[in-house]
């Protein structure tokens, strides 16, 4: 029988930005942690999966924000695994206030890969764990795309540092949210609230590589396209929208 996983958390000061609200990268960190804890509680730990020749990598994420949690606020996180569509595993995570107010919805598509080569594995390789998932009717993340606008944007560069890396030895998926927020004009980040953030992870960025960033504003600076290239190929494409 399919099961969701839920827990309550307190929004800590180090998780918040200048607005005293949970940062975009912290939202993604909590989302990743919810998936990890759900599997850990069922004995499907990261070490167990590596031993069995498989790990999950994020392929794409879409974060829709009604209101970001405030510093010191207690909220409820719920994560819901859904059956794969093609090669993509689906996991939705929602952030709710204690009074039931829906704050954030996050949908992530994951790929099951071989740990060393990152060769994509068939989803049925995960069947060995007997992990039951909810039907994927109504999911939208697997078809989510980002289209680069016409023209060229402002260029900048970001070198990958040691603290950007995770245990897979590449830039952690949540760090890209910080990279995107730093690439958007600071006055926009200081004066506007994020409504939606989507990102497609296309090629791993590794230690000491330089990410070439292109930022293209749209719709009177209410929306930005951010494209990143590393080692001669596309690293990621992201889109951030403001309220």
pTM (two decimals):
0.95
Residue-level pLDDT, tens digit, the chain, 243 residues: 789 999 999 999 999 999 999 999 999 999 999 999 999 999 999 999 999 999 999 999 999 999 999 999 999 999 999 999 999 999 999 999 999 999 999 999 999 999 999 999 999 999 999 999 999 988 899 999 999 998 889 999 999 999 999 988 899 999 999 999 999 999 999 999 999 999 999 999 999 999 999 999 998 879 999 999 999 899 999 999 999
Domain-wise residue ranges, the chain? 5-143, 154-242
Residue 228 bridge partners (DSSP): 213, 236
Task: Give, in words, the CATH class of 154-242.
Answer: alpha beta
| pLDDT for the residue 162 | 97
Q: How far apart are CA 80 and CA 110, in angstroms?
A: 13
Neighbours of 126 (CB within 10 A): 19
Residue 28: φ, ψ to 5°: -70, -35
Phi/psi zone of residue 231: left (φ > 0), alpha (ψ -120 to 50 degrees), beta? left
Domains 5-143 and 154-242 belong to one CATH topology? yes
CATH architecture of the domain formed by 5-143: Roll (3.10)
The SS3 of residue 136 is coil
207-232 burial, b if ≥16 CB within 10 A, otherwise e? eebebebbbbbeeeeebbbbbbbbee
| pLDDT for the residue 109 | 97
CA distances from 217 to 28, 44, 49, 63, 224 (A): 23, 42, 41, 19, 4
Question: Taking the mean position of all CA atoms in its chain, how far away is CA 193?
Answer: 18
CA-nearest of 129, 99, 111, 22 to 65 is 22
CA-nearest of 85, 82, 78 to 105 is 78
Q: How far apart are CA 54 and CA 119, in angstroms?
A: 9
């Amino acid at each position: 029988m399919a099961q969701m996983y839920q827990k309550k958390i307190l929004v800590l000061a180090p998780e918040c930005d200048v607005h005293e609200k949970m940062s975009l990268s912290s939202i993604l960190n909590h989302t990743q942690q919810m998936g990890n804890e759900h599997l850990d509680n069922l004995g499907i730990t990261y070490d167990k999966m590596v031993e069995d020749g498989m790990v999950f990598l994020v392929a794409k994420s879409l974060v829709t924000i009604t209101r970001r949690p405030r510093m010191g606020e207690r909220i409820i996180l719920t994560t819901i695994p859904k059956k794969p569509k093609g090669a993509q595993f689906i996991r939705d995570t929602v952030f709710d206030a204690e009074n039931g107010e829906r704050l954030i919805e996050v949908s992530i598509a994951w790929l099951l890969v071989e740990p060393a080569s990152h060769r994509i594995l068939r989803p049925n390789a995960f069947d060995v764990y007997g992990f039951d998932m909810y039907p994927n009717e109504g999911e939208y993340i697997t078809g989510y795309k980002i289209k680069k606008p016409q023209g060229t944007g402002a260029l900048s560069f970001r070198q990958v540092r040691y603290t950007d890396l995770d245990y897979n030895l590449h830039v952690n998926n949540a760090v890209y949210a910080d990279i995107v927020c730093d690439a958007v004009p600071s006055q926009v980040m200081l004066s506007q609230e994020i409504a939606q953030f989507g990102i497609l992870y296309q090629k791993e960025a590794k230690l000491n590589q330089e990410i070439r960033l292109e930022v293209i504003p749209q719709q009177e600076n209410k929306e930005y396209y951010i494209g990143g290239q590393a080692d001669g190929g596309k690293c990621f494409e992201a889109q951030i929208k403001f309220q």
